[in-house]
Amino acid sequence: MALDVAETTEAGEIDLQDPNLFINRELSWLAFNRRVLELAVDPTIPLMERLKFLCISSTNLDEFFEVRVGRLKSQLLGDAQSVGPDGMTPTEQLREISGVAHDFVAEQYRILNDVLIPDLEAEGIRFVRRTKWTEKQRRWVKRYFNEQLLPVLSPLGLDPSHPFPRVLNKSLNFIVSLEGEDAFGRESGIAVVQAPRSLPRLIRLPKSVGKGDYDFVFLSSIIHAHVGDLFPGMKVKGCYQFRATRNSDLFVDEEEIDDLRGALEDELLSRHYGDTVRLEVADNCSEDMWRFLLDQFQLNEEDCYQVNGPVNLNRLMALLGEVERPDLKFPPFVGTVAKEVLRNDSLFDTLQQRDILLHHPFDSFATVVDFIRQAANDPQVLAIKLTLYRTDADSALPQALIDAAHAGKEVTVIIELRARFDEERNIRLAKALENAGAHVVYGVVGYKTHAKMALVVRREGTRLRRYSHLGTGNYHPSTSRLYTDIGLMTADRDICADVHKMFIQLTGLGQALKLKKLKQSPFTLHSWLLERIGAEAEAARQGKPARVMAKLNSLTEPQVIRALYEASQAGVEIDLIIRGICCLRAGLPGISENIRVRSIVGRFLEHSRAFYFHNGGEPEVFLASADWMNRNLFRRVEQCAPIEDERLLKRVIDECFQIYLDDNTHTWMLRPDGSYIRLTPGDDEPVNAQIQLLEQIAEFPPA
């Protein structure tokens, strides 16, 4: 993108409202998913992990279609052609998405067929195609079909009394072309076979019929080979797998409901059968068949994706559990428990002396679980308050809350029922907590509670003392080993008082309360960000050093982007580490030439959110639950907390910023046109930020 593309105002200044200065968020997300896919061909990554990245890219794309494409298509149905800062209408976005997504899917299957499958075979891990089955294998597969599949398969012939069935979202199905009459004289010619989700998509052959320990056949291959058995006396002319993706973006009219949980439970029942947004079919499917399917799902030709392989790549993830080859996976690690935690039996004793910073997964999440568990078991603790957006319902943390409620402590849990794709789990957890006697609140209608915070109230002598945990990630022990996040544990009176006020706002009624140290959405965080960026810009205009650094998941909010453009024009040095969506254009002469945007994609999902401001040589560092997105700043409850301990402040600068700015192996740099280019070490020493942090903090084998 050249400078002359940007429009100017009447005064001759660059117009920062110009849509050309903004990258479309959906296309930016697709660029992120391509970075994930690139790891599937990275020779420095163990083979089974490369397969996992292929699967992750498939799961990501499913959710993109279920939510983002689903929402755009809903806008079209409502005849809404509203545009965002980039100026693209829903129609234009869908057209661009289709082109990029088709190329992406073709690349996924090229990598599977031309790279991963041959590499797996070289390691003795084989997908045995039905054209290559030996006689012994055919007999075993036939027996497996008769004993394990035939009893649960229900072929559905199509005729006037049997219309096209309701196909479950993302389920495996087969469209079958038939010839001949059935027992009742019907001659429809078309049938559908649905594969229950309970059936494994990969079946491991026993050693007695395989060539090695790890020979597998696809469920689809077995059904293809024996589909004729489902239609006795008929001739099968063709059998083709297909999969439909449906709009899964739940809609609940919060102004018209009295019971949010009940409304969501009702809405969840319809998620599996929302409007179809994508059709995937085998690439050998005849044109008349895929066009027939498009008609049934009321889709257009650009919504059809023909694939050379299984229609659900994510189901290949099962291979990681089946193949016991540690040499083909990432080496294990153990998160470290901070030394200051180990010195005392009580976390409360430790926090009375100093704050604790946790950088997950390098620091163990067990410390956070112990914080809640100790609070549940401590007779001096009177109350526990916690926000839950996503969690592992079977982990020790929810159980500790239940134990605390059973022990008679005042337990208040704010559960965000609308955490996408975790709604059912959160509803079950809410019921379990209520049954234990905890107070369960579902946040504020119209605002998702995305803040990650816990508060413990403890009686110490004649007074009450509060302790808090504030984080960037969810209270989810399982994902804490897969995501990078940072958390602050503190007994700071002002911070704990602010957390208490935020809980009062979430559970009660009243005006927004003034906070001393925390910034919060939707009230103060956005205006404060603009103020802090503006202060750095003013310093630069005065010829003083000025710098902004931010580590985020996404950047989309237009006012923040314009503030960053203005700061760059003033001379502020800006480094943004943004894993996913970035709508800002970096490196535009005269506009953003002082802004550098990099994306780190590696073993762990980069999820931590931290902000740095130079502040005249006295750096300020904050951790937050919020990205710089419209929804986080205006439609969610979020918290942002300062890191005031000099020791911890230095840790955040070193571990969340500097080491990532030095990374030259898993970094992609954003170019002005919205594309990304991966850095290579060249003649420099390779730096992998995530591996270095594992070696520095966790118990991890050295490289």
d(CA 149, CA 142): 10
Those residues whose C-beta lies under 8 Å from the C-beta of residue 615, and which sit 6 or more positions away, are 535, 536
CA distance 692 to 373: 31
**Can you tell me the distance from the alpha carbon of 183 to that of 167, in angstroms, rounded to the nearest whole number?**
26
How far apart are alpha carbons 693 and 333 in whole angstroms?
Answer: 11
Furthest-apart CA atoms within the chain: distance in Å:
89
Beta strand residue intervals within 447-591, DSSP E: 448-449, 453-460, 463-471, 483-490, 519-521, 547-552, 573-578
Question: Are 566 and 15 contacting, i.e. CB atoms less than 8 angstroms apart?
Answer: no
| Placement of tokens 């009177």 in the chain | 382
Sign for the CA dihedral angle at 195, 198, 199, 203 comes to: positive
Rg (CA), the chain: 28
The answer to whether the bond into 326 is cis (omega within 30° of 0) is no
Catalytic option among 224, 226, 450, 526:
450
- CA dist 400 and 15 (Å) reads 55
Count of other CB atoms within 10 angstroms of residue 679? 15
Residue 123, class by beta-carbon neighbours within 10 Å (0-12 exposed, 13-18 middle, 19+ buried)?
Answer: middle
236 phi/psi in degrees, rounded to 5? -85, 115
**296: alpha, beta or left, given left = phi > 0 and alpha = psi -120 to 50?**
alpha
Query: Residue 95 is encoded by which pair of tokens?
Result: 């057209």
- Listed in sequence order, the residues at least 6 apart from 625 whose beta carbon sits closer than 8 Å to its beta carbon are 450, 451, 452, 453, 471, 472, 609, 638, 639, 640
Instruction: Decide if 439 is catalytic.
Output: no
Closest CA to 62 of 302, 306, 314, 252: 314
Tokens linked to 306: 């023909």
At 10, which amino acid appears? E
CA dist list (Å): 413 to 388, 398, 452, 505, 695: 7, 10, 12, 13, 36
Structure-token pair, residue 692: 């270095």
SS (H, E, C) 34-83: HHHHHHHHCCCCCHHHHHHHHHHHHHHHHHHHHHHHHHHHHHHHCCCCCC
**d(C-alpha 430, C-alpha 424), whole Å:** 10
> Cα 466 from chain centroid?
33
Residue 612 in tokens:
């740095």
Measured CA to CA, the distance from residue 361 to residue 217 in angstroms comes to 36
The catalytic residue positions are 450
